[in-house]
Amino acid sequence: MRTAAQNAELALLIEVAGTPKPGNVDRERDLPGLRFEHFLAGAVGAQGGLRAAERGERVGAAFERAVEGMADQRGGNTQFGALLLSMPLVRTAGEGELTPEAAAGTVAATTVEDAVDFYRAFDHVDVRAGDPPEEMEPLDVRRGSDAAEAIRTRGLTLADLMERSADRDGIAREWTDGFEQTFEAADRIAALDGPLPARAAETFLWLLAHEPDTHVAKKHGESTARSVMVRAQEAREGGPDHVRAFADSLVESGINPGTTADVTAGALFVALERDGLEV
């Protein structure tokens, strides 16, 4: 019987094994400087933080610890978003039933110290983040732990921070919306047939065809993110050859829908933990 922390780690591993996941590293695809084994090491390294969340440590502290462990490989940021999404879910599962309501309660209970921990996590890894609005400059995540004073002065909790980013960051939106997409994708994974990595890949493409990926939007602009979404719809309708061609084209353009992969990992965790899906 796997623990919640083990299911979360396994979800990270199954997510990266699912193929094809257009634009991202998967069982059949490495990217320049970012290879499959970096994700394996990232998942193993995150263990300590995942276990901390399961036994009830503060979400922010557990997250920072998970990111520090994740970063102990040479690929850089492998699973930052997936861990940020999963952490309140793992903590919720460690306390009782894993429902959207309970997860929203975990989010609502986060404190200013969780927000400080969240900023500290950026010290461990290089994460893509856009320029913040001018009045938010002291809270630029790129300042890492140097932003601690500004957070404390403003009295912002981690839930507050997420709410402020919800319109431009898919993970923050999940935190704010009761993990709606994550649970919906988990229902889908549970309802599909076949090996879990294949269900994960199918669900990744389904998510990508339904919402613009915010990681793509930050890096390449809103219109590119929308175009990727439309092309994902067309690829799904066209079948496996179209999906493969779409995947190749995204890689050629350096477009990786990372947020969609993060939501897929979170959904796999819910499916393993809540629905007890067998591997």
- Binding-site ranges for its own copies (CB under 8 A): 1-2, 6, 9-10, 13-14, 17, 27-28, 35-38, 40-41, 44-45, 47, 69, 72-74, 195-197, 278-279
Nearest approach, Cβ of 39 to its own copies (angstroms)? Answer: 10
Nearest approach, Cβ of 48 to its own copies (angstroms)? Answer: 8
Dmax (CA) of the chain: 54
Q: Which CB atom, from 38 or from 218, has the smaller least distance to its own copies?
A: 38
Q: Give the span between the Cα atoms of 50 and 221, in whole angstroms.
A: 33
Nearest approach, Cβ of 77 to its own copies (angstroms)? Answer: 15
Nearest approach, Cβ of 171 to its own copies (angstroms)? Answer: 23
Q: How far is CA 90 from the centre of its chain?
A: 13
Q: Give the span between the Cα atoms of 259 and 279, in whole angstroms.
A: 24
Q: Which CB atom, from 2 or from 168, has the smaller least distance to its own copies?
A: 2
Question: Do residues 119 and 151 lie in contact, with contact meaning Cβ atoms separated by under 8 Å?
Answer: yes
Q: In the structure encoding, which two tokens stand for residue 160, read together?
A: 């507050």
Q: Which CB atom, from 195 or from 238, has the smaller least distance to its own copies?
A: 195
- The partner residues of 29 in beta bridges, in order of sequence, read 26
Question: Do residues 224 and 269 lie in contact, with contact meaning Cβ atoms separated by under 8 Å?
Answer: no
Q: What are phi and psi of 137, to 5 degrees?
A: -50, -40
Alpha helices in 71-179 (DSSP H): 80-95, 100-108, 112-121, 148-154, 158-165, 170-176
Q: Give the span between the Cα atoms of 90 and 8, in whole angstroms.
A: 7
Say which residue the tokens 């919640």 belong to.
4
Q: Which CB atom, from 35 or from 143, has the smaller least distance to its own copies?
A: 35
